[in-house]
């Protein structure tokens, strides 16, 4: 089907290539505009005739916000409370806001590119790339220049930290030994399976430090610990709580 579709529409690549993606959005300045822009996609694409049809359109989150359908995964209250605490008034104001966006058409500034703007435009960004300057997340950050720079700095700090750890000899088994040390266990106990609380805490802390500090993927962790990827992810989440509650740090001098 993908080959047929590509030939018919003169395109290349996977059928759903670039159809699903995520960007980091600056909440205060952009979230409402982005919600409106996304929900108006069916109208811009002429899939539906008008806003009245969009109010009940099954394949858009707009209908859920308007109370015409329910998506268990969609937090409609989050959006509505930005307009008013009263539900009926919030929905009316939200709809008016969406209606005003119909005439705007396509908005390239709302599909990423905050970094492009902060870098001085495409020409400046291309110039940085020519000299091999490394900038993370080109078009996946939506916000003003200060927000973009803050995100990039956080990413760079994390990248630098992981590099320092790895260059200092830290690997999976170094983290295992550190977990054993802070929890008063040995390496074999940390790596062993079991539902005893101390073993669960140990593996959870291990998954958290290995993923957060070393950048190991859940695939790698699942292979090391012989567990499923979802279990590794859940363990890392628990491990963050263990680390915070007990004020545990991977590095002794931190």
Domains of the chain: 24-108 (no CATH), 109-158 (no CATH), 172-246 (1.10.1750.10)
Alpha-carbon gap, residue 247 to 142, rounded angstroms: 34
Vertex 112, ends 5 and 129: CA angle to 5°? 95
Return the exposure string of 200-231: e unless at least 16 CB atoms fall within 10 Å of the residue's CB, then b: bbbbbbbbbbbbbbbebebebbbebbebeeeb
Residues contacting 225, CB < 8 A, separation 6+:
191, 203, 206, 207, 232
pLDDT tens, 32-66?
888 898 899 999 999 999 999 999 999 999 999 99
Query: What is the residue-wise DSSP string for 168-199?
Result: TT--HHHHHHHHHHHHT--HHHHHS----HHH
pLDDT tens, 110-123?
555 444 444 444 44
What are the helix and strand counts (H, E) for the chain?
15, 2
Instruction: Say what the pTM is.
Output: 0.45
pLDDT tens, 176-228?
999 999 999 999 999 998 899 999 999 999 999 998 888 888 889 999 999 88
């Amino acid at each position: 089907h993908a080959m047929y579709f590509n030939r018919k529409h003169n395109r290349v690549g996977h059928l759903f290539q670039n159809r699903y993606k995520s960007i980091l959005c600056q909440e205060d300045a952009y979230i409402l505009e982005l919600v409106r822009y996304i929900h108006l996609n069916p109208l811009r694409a002429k899939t539906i005739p008008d806003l009245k049809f969009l109010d009940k359109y099954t394949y858009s989150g707009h209908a859920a916000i308007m109370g015409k359908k329910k998506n268990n995964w969609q937090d409609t209250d989050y959006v509505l409370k930005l307009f008013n605490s009263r539900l009926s008034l919030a929905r009316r104001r939200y709809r008016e806001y969406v209606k005003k966006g119909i005439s705007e058409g396509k908005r390239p500034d709302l599909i990423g590119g905050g970094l492009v703007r902060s870098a001085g435009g495409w020409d400046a960004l291309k110039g940085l790339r020519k000299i091999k300057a490394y900038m993370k997340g080109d078009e996946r950050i939506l916000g003003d220049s200060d927000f973009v720079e803050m995100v990039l700095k956080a990413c760079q700090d994390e990248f630098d930290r992981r590099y320092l750890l790895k260059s200092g000899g830290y690997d999976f088994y170094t983290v295992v030994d550190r977990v054993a040390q802070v929890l008063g266990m040995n390496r074999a106990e940390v790596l062993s399976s079991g539902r005893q609380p101390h073993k669960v805490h140990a593996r959870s802390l291990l998954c958290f430090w290995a993923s957060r500090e070393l950048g190991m993927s859940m695939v790698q962790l699942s292979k090391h610990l012989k567990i499923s990827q979802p279990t590794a992810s859940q363990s890392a989440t628990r491990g963050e709580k263990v680390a915070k509650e007990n004020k545990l740090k991977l590095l002794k001098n931190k």
